[in-house]
Amino acid sequence: MVQVAAALLFALAAGLGLTVIVAMLRSNGDAILSALSGEGAFPAEAAPHPGPAANIITLRQPMRRHAARPARVQPLLSRAA
């Protein structure tokens, strides 16, 4: 009984996955197929061109931290030995 329920659940999940794939192909079919063929989804003229940015965004300066403290050197033998 459990095996039948697992098989039905697997079939339902597989059907839902195929439905999602078909829906994606219907809505973006041209872009997906052109990207798979190596042409890209957008023409080269519309692509962004490298160069200096129009707006420069400065990031916050990192907080200064104090110098690292030297690690304590532990004796090789414990005091109990």
81 belongs to a structural domain: no
The pLDDT confidence band at residue 79, using thresholds 50, 70 and 90, is low
- Tell which residue, 53, 13, 69, has the closest CA to residue 5: 13
16 belongs to a structural domain: yes
Domain span including residue 32: 2-42
SS3 category, 44 = helix
* 53 half-sphere exposure, CB direction, 13 A CA radius: 4
In the DSSP assignment, the letter for residue 46 is G
The pLDDT confidence band at residue 80, using thresholds 50, 70 and 90, is low
28 belongs to a structural domain: yes
Share of the chain residues as helix, strand and coil, in percent rounded to the nearest 5: 45, 0, 55
The residue whose two tokens read 């090789």 is: 76
14 belongs to a structural domain: yes
Q: How many domains does the chain have?
A: 1
pTM: 0.40
52 belongs to a structural domain: no
